[in-house]
Structure 1
Amino acid sequence: MKCHRLNELIELLQPEWQKEPELNLMQMIGKLAAEAGYQGKLEELSDDVLIYHLKMRNMGDDEMIPGLAKDYEPDFKTAILRARGIID
């Protein structure tokens, strides 16, 4: 795991873990994995699953996924013109 990913994971995990301080680290990770729908072994859980789940955990159902929001185009015609390079 690269250093920036570790820092991002810790930054996302800290406020969530503070809400349930009675849990130890492995219990907290197990809880997050279960919430995310992960069913494999915890030692095979990727940091991507944790980071993505922590980012999405407190978002509403109608909110856009963070990675997709930057590319969202509400107007289909504009999206086609932008994809073809006609407009910026």
Structure 2
Amino acid sequence: MKCHRLNELISLLQPAWQQEPDLNLVEFLQKIADEAGFTQPISDITDDVLIYHLKMRGTDKDEAIPGLKKDYEEDFKTALLRARGVIKD
């Protein structure tokens, strides 16, 4: 794991974990994994799952993922033309 990803994970994890002070770290990580629908053993969870779930926790389930939101287009035709370079930003 890169240092910046570790820092991002810690900055997301700290406020969320403080809201559940009765859980130890492993219990809290298991809770996050369960919320994310992660069914494999907790030792197999990736930092990506934790980061994205912590970012999206408490938002509407139809909300766009923050990293993808910047590329979102309302209509398919515009998205296709932009992807092919016909429409420039």
**TM-score of Structure 1 vs Structure 2, range by shorter chain:** 0.7 to 0.9
CA shift at 1:85, angstroms? 1.1
Where do 5+ consecutive residues of structure 1 fail to align?
none
Deviation sequence 1:5-35 (CA, Å, 0-9, x none): 1101001111111111111111100111111
Where do 5+ consecutive residues of structure 2 fail to align?
none
Deviation sequence 1:30-76 (CA, Å, 0-9, x none): 11111111122212211111111111112112321212211111133
> Using a 3 Å threshold, how does the CA distance of structure 1 residues 40 and 81 change in structure 2: closer, same or farther?
closer
Q: Which moved more, 1:66-75 or 1:4-13?
A: 66-75
2:76 and 2:41 map into 1 onto residues whose CA distance is 42
Runs of 4+ in 1 over 3 A off after TM superposition: none
Amino acid at match of 2:28: M
2:35 counterpart SS class: helix
CA shift at 1:81, angstroms? 2.3
- Structure 1 length as normaliser, TM-score? 0.87
Tell me how many residue pairs correspond in the alignment.
88
Amino acid at match of 1:55: K
2:51 counterpart SS class: helix
> What percentage of aligned pairs have identical amino acids?
66
> Using a 3 Å threshold, how does the CA distance of structure 1 residues 80 and 42 change in structure 2: closer, same or farther?
closer
RMSD: 1.4
Amino acid at match of 2:24: N
